[in-house]
Every structure is written in C-alpha cells, then in structure tokens.
Structure 1
Amino acid sequence: MPDFNCSPIPGFSPVIIHLFGPISLRWYSLAYIVGLVLGAWVFHHLMKNTALWALPGKKGTPPASPAITEDLLFWCTLGIIIGGRLGFILLYRTEWIWEQPISILKTWTGGMSFHGGALGALLAVLYVAYSRKIQPLRLADAVATVAPIGLFFGRLANFINGELYGRPWDGAWAMRFPCDENAAMPLRHPSQLYEAALEGIVLFIILRIAITRFRTLTRPGLTTGMFMLGYGVFRTAVEFVREPDAGLIFGLTRGMTYSIPLWLGGLILITLAVKHPPVAK
C-alpha cells in the first residue's frame, strides 16, 4: 500500500471489507467487476448504434445484436482471468511451476499479465465470433473500443495494492511504497497512475473519436489495430519510468519486449484496413 506522506491523498487498504474467514472483497476484484460490467454496457450500446457502423449520413449494421453481450462477457471474463494468470506465470514467474505450483491458482494474491489477458480475450472473441457466425474483425473492433475501460480500473487497483510502481524519483508527486526494499531512495514514480491515464483515459478518448468522427468501425480491423498500437506506444513510454521486472531482454524491459508484437500486429492491421474501402453494411 502506498505511503502518501508526500501527498495530500489519503492511503488505501487493498481490502475493502472482510466478509468471512479468509474471504474478503478487494479493490483488485472490484476493479475487474466494474471494468467488465461497464465495458459490457458500452459494448451493448455499440451494438445498438447503427450510425457508427456506416459512413456519415447512413445507417450501418452492427456485427451482432445487443443480445450477444452476456455471452461475450462470460467468455471474455474467463479468457482474461485464465490468460492473465497463465501469462503472468509464463512471462514473469516460471519458477513457480516447479517450486510452488499451488501458487498458480492463488489469483487473489495478485499477479496478472495484460499480454496474457489480451490473448485470452482474443481467443474468447474468436470463439464467440465463429460459434455465432460473426465477422471476427468487426467483433474485435467493438471489444477493442471498450478495452481501455478495464485497463483504467485495473491500473487503479495496481496503485491501491502498491504494486507495479515506478523507478526511484524525488519529484513533486513522488510516493512511497512500503513493499519497496530500496531504503536509499524510497520515493518513486506512481507509474500505475500514468498507465491508468494513458492506457485507460487517453486511449479510450482516441478510440472514441476514431469511431464517432472518422467512422473507423466501417473498416474491419482498423480500430483493433489502433488499440494494439496505442497500448504498445503508451506501455513502452511508461516503461522508462516504471520499475522493470528482473531480467532484461536484449537491453529492453520485459514490458517493452512483450509489447513489440502489439506494435507490429497493430501496424499490420491498420495497413490492411486502410487499403480496403469501407464496408457497405
């Protein structure tokens, strides 16, 4: 939990309320619930807004009916949790597989990977798309539009938990994290808030402008590509002030390295999407 001795903001406990026994409601769990439910609500309205799926002055056809929201929410939730946890283990804690395999199941102790969660969500979208005979890229575009909502709440939860903090820094809004063992320089960047602002708020606004003003939903894959590229850019930028995980890869932090496929995939999708004319429906 952060120590706000140098900030007017009060401190938080990662636990909201103890329910019974070892069961507690945590901010991290609440962040997932709020992010998924709010994202589903926005997605539901995207499926009802025919104007966003056509050029200005026309009416288009969304890739699916609003009724698909609950089904997609279920599979995306499953994909994000399983993918996020497995991604964290495989990308950051491979030693747990042999040393403490039971810890893999302890999701309540923290430890989720965006890149693994994103892959899990992608597989969920593909499953729903093919099982419902929906164009995968158009469905992915709708999901990408609301994804920053979940990222925003997830990063806020990281901040409250005092995890994934920034590098040593003694600037105006530097903060202390008790889990930090570096006594020589306890003040650090609150990098979780930077990511909440960039990956959450800014990216959501960019995509919202893209689909409303520039009608990017009429070009399948374009909005998804913009999300992937945008996240890759913002994540890489914050990595310069975020405390890196142990073990650099060719001089790059793990966050930078794992974001390279997002950069490349995003650029490829954008390039392919703009080469084709807008969809007729």
Structure 2
Amino acid sequence: MSYYLHDLAPFLFRYVDGRGEGFTARWDGLAYLAGFGLALWLLKRFVARGSLHLPEKEVFDFTSLVALLGVLLGGRLGYLFLYDAERFSGNLGLLFQVSQGGASFHGGLLGVAGVTAVLARKHAVSWPHLTDHLVLVAPLGLCLGRLASFMDGDLLGRVTRVPWAVLFPAELHLASFQPAQATRLAVERLPASSFDIMRVAHAAPQVLEELPRILNPRHPWPLYAALLEGLVLFAVLWAVRLRARPPEGLLTGLFLGLHAVLHGALGFLREPHAGDPLWGGLTHGQLLSVPVLAAGVALVVWSRSRRPESVGVAAPSIQGS
C-alpha cells in the first residue's frame, strides 16, 4: 500500500535576507494567535449577553493573562519539568527556547487554573464561573494547536497499517526507529526535523526514493486529537450549554473528565515521548489524565449537588455588567 509521505512546511511563510536574518510565521505561533483571537471574541460575546460577569473593558486583559501566564508559561514549565527536568535545572534559558520542545497540556491546565483562581478573586466572581466559560473556548485552541503539530510533522503516532497512515521523516531520529527495510541512508547525517529532512530529500533523489521504503506507516495522531479533543469536545460542551442552564462547575467538570478520557485513549495511538518511561503500559500523559479525570468527576458531582436557587447567581457588585 502506498502511504502519504509527510511533506508539509511548519510555517506559512518565511523571509530570510542575505545575512541570514529574517522572519518566520510558524503554524504553531499562528495557532496560538488564532486561539487567542477566538477566545477574545467568544468571551466578549459572553459578556455582551450577560452570561460572563466581567467588565467589558477587562476582557482583553483577562484573556491575555490566561493565555500568557496560564497557557504559554504553564504549558512550557510543565513540559520542561515532565520531560526535560535534568537539562532545565542547569539551563533556565530553555524556558524561552520553545523550538527545543513544546508545551504540556497538563502544565497549561494547572497554569490556567492558578491564573483564573487569582482573577476570580480580583473580580469577585466564583472560580467555576470563569472556567465554565473558558472551557467552551479551550477545545478550539486545542484543535488549532494539534493541526499545527501535524503541519510540523514531529509529533508521531504509533506504527499501524490503517489506509490513512502517514510516513513521517522525523521517525528516522527516534531512539526506537527500526527501518521497515534495510537502508542505504546515513540516517545520523540527516537533519532532525521532518521539514529539513524533506528539503534534503528533494535535493537528493536517492534520499527521496529511499524514504518510503524504510519509514513505517504511523497514525496521524495530531489529526485524531484535533478532531476528538478539539471539535468533538467543543460540540459536546456547547450542546450541554444550549440544552439547559448548567449549574456552575458542570461544564468545567465535563471538560476535564471528557478530555482526560479522550487524551488517555488517544495515548495508546501516540508514540511515547523520548525518555518517557512506560508505567504498566501507560505514558506520563496518560497517568496525568487520571487525577484530571478524578477532578472532573468531583466537579460534576459538586455542581449537581448545589441548591437550584444558588446556581448562576452573580456577585452583587457586578450584576449590572
């Protein structure tokens, strides 16, 4: 069977002058910007319709703090502590070198939880009131981020033979790489990223001919995550919101619980991170989904047990916002 050989660029465009300096618009950066724009637009609509109790002039600052301190900083710190703690302890500059590893969803989750707790106190609203609105936006950002990961080509699924499997050139540098056939390529001399490997391949026909022979077909894991953790989760939460006026905390609990289940299940189709030990067949990401699931279930139970008359009541100081 002929499988698609990943040959996509990790950027929309880039400009480099004669001195080697320039500008690159990467898909992951554009995904963050688009996610921020969607979040800002939706949160402003919530405020305008009276469901989100924040002053309209504060929405931009609120969204910016959640995005910068919660998602970006929390996600980056989570990634470094979970997957690169030894190097990070000796080089704090890695915090800003996003090209050397990305961000962790669970780190971003903790970051957003902390930031929203502080902002809830500042604006005299409950923490679930803020998070119930944020979780309606979060799946769209997750979808965009996973699509950007697929464009990058360095986040791989496990080996499979499904008809839609993809050949990822970045597999050549996995510690577990075993070529489908004997190879004549000097793999260690090839660049690290999928895009750069394909640049070499297009300049050297023998490399381009050899890659489909030796690469193993793999699940396009980022596309699965974009669909399930992104679009499907968004549709479910939005449907719950439209069907009834859910009590505070219910949407947050559903988001945490459903995402934990989906992320844990998809983990069986994702190539484990380099250096990620398997615990009883589970990866770090799957194990971290367990407490997230527990927190989600606890929030759903708590929200369902609240007195009906207390549901959705705003703080007196901001009822008119």
Give the Cα separation in 2 of the matches to 1:249 and 1:36: 35
The reply on whether 1:210 has 2:240 as its aligned counterpart is yes
2:10 is the counterpart of 1:14 = yes
Distance 1:188 1:10, change over 3 A: closer
The question of whether the paired residues in 2 share the 8 Å contact of 1:48 and 1:65 is answered with: no
Q: Pick from 44, 57, 67: which aligns with 1:67?
A: 57
Q: Residue by residue, what CA displacement relative to the aligned partner does 1:184-207 show, whole Å, maximum 9, x if unpaired?
A: 252100011000000100000000
Cross-structure match for 1:222: 250
Residue aligning to 1:254: 284
1:233 matched to 2:224:
no
* Aligned AA (1:26): R
Distance in 2, Cα, partners of 1:22 & 1:258: 39
Shift, 1:92, TM fit? 1.1
Code of the aligned partner of 1:230: L
TM-score (norm 2): 0.77
Match of 2:137 among 134, 142, 146: 146
Change (3 A) 1:172 1:266: same
Distance 1:31 1:238 in 2: 21
| 2:188 alignment partner in structure 1 | none
The aligned residue for residue 95 of structure 1 is 86
Give the secondary-structure state (helix, strand or coil) at the position aligned to 1:25: strand
Contact 1:148 1:200 in 2 (8 A): yes
The structure with the largest alpha-carbon Rg is: 2
TM-score by length of 1: 0.88
Give the corresponding residue for 1:188.
218
- The code of the aligned residue for 1:44 comes to K
| Worse overlay, 186-195 or 114-123 | 114-123
Q: Does 1:131 align with 2:122?
A: yes
Match of 1:276 in 2: 306
The answer to whether the 8 A contact 2:248-2:312 is kept is no
Q: 2-side partners of 1:240 and 1:120: how far apart?
A: 26
Q: d(CA) in 1 for partners of 2:22 and 2:93? A: 17
What is the distance in 1 between the residues matched to 2:283 and 2:100? 24
- Matches of 1:81 and 1:173 in 2, distance apart? 32
**Offset, 1:19:** 4.1
| 1:49-60 equivalences in 2 (<5 Å) | 49-50=49-50, 53=51
Structure 2, unpaired ranges of 5+: 181-214, 314-321
The alignment's C-alpha RMSD in Å is: 1.9
Q: 2:155: which partner in 1?
A: 164
Q: CA deviation at 1:10?
A: 7.9
- 1:236/1:259 contact within 8 Å kept: yes
Contact 2:6 2:168 in 1 (8 A): no
| Identity fraction in percent | 33
Q: Is the 8 A contact 1:138 1:221 kept in 2?
A: yes
Structure 1 residue 280: Cα displacement: 5.7
Compared CA separation, residues 265 and 280, structure 1 to 2 (3 A)? closer
Q: Is the 8 A contact 2:225 2:266 kept in 1?
A: yes
Matched residue, 2:37? 37
The answer to whether the Cα contact below 8 Å between 1:63 and 1:135 also exists between their aligned partners in 2 is no
How many residue pairs end up in the alignment?
A: 264
Q: Relative to 1, partners in 2 of residues 1:134 and 1:280: Cα closer, same or farther, differing over 3 Å? A: closer
- What is the match of residue 120 of structure 1? 111
In the superposition, relative to structure 1, how do residues 34 and 280 fare at CA in structure 2: closer, same or farther (>3 Å)? closer
State the Cα deviation string for residues 88-119 of structure 1 (Å, max 9, x = none). 00011112224654333201444110111111
1:237 corresponds to which letter in structure 2?
A
